[in-house]
Structure formats: C-alpha cells, structure tokens
Amino acid sequence: MNFALKLYHQDKKVNQTLFLYIIYCLSLLLIRAKITQSVYLFFLIWNLFLAFVPYIISSYFQSLDTKNNSKLKRYALLIIWLLFIPNSFYIITDLVHLDNSDGIIFWLDLIIISSYALIGFGLGLLSLTHFETTLKTIISKKYASITLFCISFLCGFGIYVGRILRYNSWDIISNPFDLIVDLFIAATSKTSLFFSIQFGIFIYFAFLIKKNITSK
C-alpha cells in the first residue's frame, strides 16, 4: 500500500488525471453492457492493465536510489519494461474490432476503443519519458535519442507480434519455443519490418510532439 501511494504521489497531478480517465473508460463499458446486454469489448480492461505495467515499472525505476540498488535489479526491471512497453501502444490496433459493430453501436464502440487507445498510448509516452530521463543520466542526449527511436521500432515489432502473430508478453514463459521460432521468421520478413518501421516512426513522432509540448 505504501509502495502504491509513493508512486501515486511521485507525479500526483498526472496520476489523478489518469485515475479519472480510467473511471470514464470503465463507465463507457458499463453503459455499452447495459445497452447491448453484452460484455463484448470487456477485454479492453485487461489490455489497459497491461498498458499500465510498463508505466508502473518506469515510475518505480525513477524512484530508485542507484547507490542502494544493485545493477542486477535495475537490468531485470529494464528487461521486464522492454517486454511490456509495446502493450501500451498495442491498444490502438483494437480498432479492428469495429468490424463487428454496426448502426449506432458502431459510434459508441468507436468512442470506447479510442478512449482506451488514448490512455494506453498516453501511458506509453509517459513511460518513454521516464526512461529518457533515466537514460540521460547514463549517456549523452544524442545517444539517448537514438536509443528511444530503436525502442519505438521494437514497440512496433512488438505490436506486430501481438496483433499479427497473436502472441502476448506471457508467452515468453508459457510458450517460449514457438515464440522464438516465429520471432526469427518475423525478423527476416519484409512485411513485419515494414509494419514495425511504420508503427515505430508513428510512436517516435508522437513522443517528440509530447516532449516538445510539455517542455514549453
């Protein structure tokens, strides 16, 4: 409990906004369930939880005292963060589920999925900002920018693995062999590289826009 409160107060204004927006997103699903008598799209709650994981990790990482924490712990957190950060941006691809909507419900579903995609994407950008802040204490700004672009590309590849290949972050433990084989095949595929580059550029420019707006 103390840990959660510490992270909450670390960036209280942002976290208050996120909390209010989560309530709004959840209320949208409840309204849809009431209207349609269906829990379709409730999977977005799980996707939103996964989007929060890298944000929580990067927030915790920022609070660490480098002198009192081992390099092994920091590297372990970094690896877990890298595995989960694509989940934040992944939610935008849930717009494909609009194919199953029609009539007035289509517009409600558009608002619902877009709302979850917006908060997921926002969490991803905030997490990248945390990572950049930490990174600049280790390497120069130039190399930090290059590293962030590479991570954006990896996020694009992660989205491809999740949306097209239908793997998730847990498969590295539950289904490692098939995952490694398919990752190797995808890494040599022109389609996956094109997909990853396009999403990577999209994520990186969104990060730059957010960075330039907040720095003013």
- Per-residue pLDDT tens for 144-179? 889 999 999 999 999 999 999 999 878 888 888 999
Token reading at 117: 């995609």
Q: What is the pLDDT of residue 75?
A: 83
Token reading at 115: 């709302």
Intervals of the chain under pLDDT 70: 1-4, 65-69, 216
Region for residue 140 given its phi and psi (left: phi exceeds 0; alpha: psi -120 to 50; beta: otherwise): beta
Q: What is the pLDDT of residue 69?
A: 66
Q: What is the pLDDT of residue 71?
A: 75
Q: What is the pLDDT of residue 82?
A: 93
- Integer Cα distance of 143 and 172 in angstroms: 29
Nearest residue to 124 (alpha-carbon basis) of 62, 174, 181, 54: 54
pLDDT tens per residue across span 103-122? 999 999 999 999 999 999 99
| The overall pTM is greater than 0.95 | no
Q: What is the pLDDT of residue 43?
A: 96
Run of H or E residues at 53? helix 43-63
Q: What is the pLDDT of residue 168?
A: 84
- Integer Cα distance of 214 and 122 in angstroms: 13
Q: What is the pLDDT of residue 129?
A: 94
